[in-house]
Amino acid sequence: MRRDSRITAFILIFERLFNSSPVDDEIWQQVKEKDKEFAQQIFDAYQNNAEKVADMLQKVLIGYSLDRVHKIDLALLYEAIAEIKFLNSPPAVVINEVLEIAKKYSTAESPKFINGVLSKIVNAKDGGHA
Model pLDDT, residue 19: 79
Other beta carbons within 10 angstroms of residue 28's beta carbon come to 13
110 vs 128: which has the higher pLDDT: 110
pLDDT above 60 (res 127):
no
Q: At what angle do helices 50-60 and 33-48 cross, to 10 degrees?
A: 70
Model pLDDT, residue 129: 56
Classify residue 129: in a domain, yes or no.
Answer: no
C-beta of residue 69 within 8 angstroms of C-beta of residue 114: no
> What range does the domain containing 117 cover?
2-123
* Confidence category of residue 108, pLDDT binned at 50, 70, 90: very high
pLDDT above 80 (res 130):
no
Please tell me the total count of domains within the chain: 1
Model pLDDT, residue 126: 59
CATH number at residue 99: 1.10.940.10
Torsion angle (degrees, nearest 10) of CA 15, 21, 27, 33: 110
Main-chain phi, psi angles of 71, to 5 degrees: -60, -35
The tens digit of pLDDT for each residue in 29-84 reads: 778 888 889 999 999 999 999 999 999 999 999 888 899 999 999 999 999 999 99
Classify residue 128: in a domain, yes or no.
Answer: no
Model pLDDT, residue 31: 82
Torsion angle (degrees, nearest 10) of CA 92, 97, 103, 109: -30
Classify residue 79: in a domain, yes or no.
Answer: yes
Model pLDDT, residue 29: 79
Model pLDDT, residue 23: 65
From residue 55, alpha-carbon distances to 25, 60, 102, 126, 130 in Å are 29, 9, 22, 13, 6
